[in-house]
Amino acid sequence: MVKKNFWSTVSEFLVLLIIAYVLALGIRTFVAERRDVPTGSMEPTIHAGDSLFTVKAIYYFRQPQRGDIVVFNVPKRVNPNQAYPWVKRLIGLPGDTVEVRDGKTYVNGKMYNVPTARMPKYKFGPVKVKDGMYLVFGDNRNESYDSHYWGFLPQEEVFAKAVCVIWPIKHIKILN
């Protein structure tokens, strides 16, 4: 009788482990996951080494919005060897005209201010964002390898929204 209880308990435990693994894999694949930020391209909003909580499921229900901090696969034409997704702020939507001049960013002729973004020291555009594309900038505008260097980001490459910084403790915050 002891053997039966022991093996019954072990088999129940294994079934629970398998269920937990499948659920975790499903959540990570389709709903949400943690992402580490390797560079300072989003400083001062997000620092190199920060861990983010990102939500994938949100873009099943709505399109990305201007100002979202998005996680995306790097287009092969930008960096064919890049396997790790990048994090940038979505600035231009399809049909928008984006320009950077005099240290300010303009979208459709109106100044678009991100309070945490550093003032750009470059000129860009004006460019009209093509259908099926986005324009993304890092908040560390002068030190970010982003759309002002490599152009438009195909919409299908965006797969998650960064919602909050979860690590280190001194950087924990909700992202806007």
Cβ atoms of 94 and 130 closer than 8 Å: yes
Q: How far apart are CA 37 and CA 157, in angstroms?
A: 18
Active site residue 88: yes
- CB 16 within 8 Å of CB 137: no
Active-site pick, 3, 11, 88, 110: 88
Judge whether 88 and 104 are in contact, CB under 8 Å. Answer: no
Burial class (CB in 10 A: 0-12, 13-18, 19+), 22: exposed
Q: Residues near 12 by Cβ (< 8 Å), separated by ≥ 6?
A: none
4 annotated active-site: no
> Of the listed 41, 144, 147, 161, which one is catalytic?
41
Q: Which residues are catalytic?
A: 41, 88
